[in-house]
Structure 1
């Protein structure tokens, strides 16, 4: 009997009407994964994670793809994970998805010896210090603030120390609503961008470099960033493998986002839930994913 696999998306990416370049890239990537799985005898269907009509028990595997609204519907997504986890095999595993959804994992990885961008986590409701005071604690001339649970650059702001007081109302509103992270702004982000390395079963398959558009520091497509294939660098590949080895649950797939600095490469983020995997730059990686998933 054929293995039935759900490619799990959010509602925007199943059948977009008049898709733009961004949506077409998503459809292309899912097609590469789907064809690699079908080539190995699997039955593949693209489904919406939040669709109450989906019979998850009818699938042998639920492969997370573009669930890019999960952080906007976080309690609902966690409840979905808890419900579906007993009905089918979720990949990556549900405990790993829960661990990776909150960026406090960066602090845990740092404690395990992984070099990260220095990160301070401020708990929701902590109004003991102003943003300027937090910046002064770590001697930051410029910082980046972001929610601990987020994606796509949501509520991510670059703030100069001289402008901290002007952003205090925004900061207080954000930290009243959710846990927040404060990190130093690294100028290498705007000068050289991020290097993303893709791994399947702990082995690096390919890499891309993501760069921000002029006047922006966020590298995501949503904010005008661009992506190009990047040759594999042995030192960065070794660091990516080290990052994945420090994770408490083994991931089938992982994307490791690094920034190269004068102090060496630092982990920006580790994407284990629904990373854009840039299969279009390396279709062979989709074949390797299918092989690892099914055999």
Structure 2
């Protein structure tokens, strides 16, 4: 019998309700799946044939521990989905620079290396009216704020200490996020499954549900799906799952990120998606 650990975090020791459904769904195929907290030192990872990253939603707050744990899993030779190579790249948002170099249209971004003298005065284009700043190793709007372009000194005072320890993304704030929202394109084994639009609460820019964001299943045009597919095709490895997040402006995706570690895949909004996900697991482990 194949044994799979569905990786989660201390806040969701038994996975989220939608991901819990994976356990009986996989059992139908003689696969024993169990929720395991990624940083639980009592777990014997060699008991598992595969580890699947699902609800590891605190990894960005435990950067050093997470990196050491990834090294441990690699030394043990345990297979992971997505692969450790993908995880290592995707955990740090400077991968966006690589996609941009390949021709992908990303939200206009300045990539700030670690520095003991943060100075953005000559780095921010003058036509940017508002600026979003966030750590490159982050998720769920962690340490993310919006500033007007006239608040550079305010940014320096708030982020200088953070810049000592973390690389930063400084991005142009797109007002369309409040009106059009962010659209997520979910792929299983590099095949498009479904799409969800996420709009922030009034007077907010964060689309996450914990901040009042509203999620709706949508059906994008074939042209837009093909744009998302082209982004996914830049990844050479197998991908059990990936979520392309972006703002659709003038019928073009402006990429915000490609989530390959622990994204919500919105199983509850797209009922057939869970079976598609299970089928993709079976394809990759057979």
8 Å Cα contact 1:196-1:209 kept in structure 2? yes
1:132-152 Cα shifts (integer Å, max 9, x gaps): 4332x4532211111010001
Alpha-carbon separation, structure 1, partners of 2:277 and 2:237: 18
Pick aligned residue for 2:96 from 106, 125, 132: 106
1:43-63 Cα shifts (integer Å, max 9, x gaps): 111110001111111111111
> Per the alignment, in what secondary structure is the counterpart of residue 156 of structure 2?
helix
**Which residue does 2:11 correspond to in 1?**
12
Alpha-carbon separation, structure 1, partners of 2:202 and 2:213: 9
Alpha-carbon separation, structure 2, partners of 1:218 and 1:28: 23
The answer to whether the aligner puts 1:3 opposite 2:6 as a matched pair is no
Alignment of 1:1-295 (within 5 A): 2-15=1-14, 27-85=16-74, 86-125=76-115, 127=117, 129=119, 131-135=120-124, 137=125, 139-262=127-250, 264-295=252-283
Alpha-carbon separation, structure 2, partners of 1:34 and 1:99: 28
* Count of residue pairs brought into register by the alignment: 282
8 Å Cα contact 1:259-1:265 kept in structure 2? yes
8 Å Cα contact 1:109-1:247 kept in structure 2? no
8 Å Cα contact 1:146-1:156 kept in structure 2? yes
Q: How far apart are 1:128 and its partner, in Å?
A: 5.8
Change (3 A) 1:138 1:56: farther
State the superposition RMSD in angstroms: 1.6
Change (3 A) 1:120 1:250: farther
Q: How far apart are 1:172 and its partner, in Å?
A: 1.7
Structure whose residues are more often helix by fraction:
1
8 Å Cα contact 2:118-2:156 kept in structure 1? no
Change (3 A) 1:35 1:283: farther
Alpha-carbon separation, structure 2, partners of 1:55 and 1:41: 21
TM-score using structure 1 length: 0.91
Q: How far apart are 1:33 and its partner, in Å?
A: 1.9
> Per the alignment, in what secondary structure is the counterpart of residue 138 of structure 2?
coil
Q: How far apart are 1:249 and its partner, in Å?
A: 2.8
8 Å Cα contact 2:7-2:55 kept in structure 1? yes
Unaligned runs of 5+ in 1: 16-25
Q: How far apart are 1:286 and its partner, in Å?
A: 1.6
Alpha-carbon separation, structure 1, partners of 2:16 and 2:154: 42
Q: How far apart are 1:248 and its partner, in Å?
A: 4.2
Q: How far apart are 1:201 and its partner, in Å?
A: 1.1
> Per the alignment, in what secondary structure is the counterpart of residue 276 of structure 1?
coil
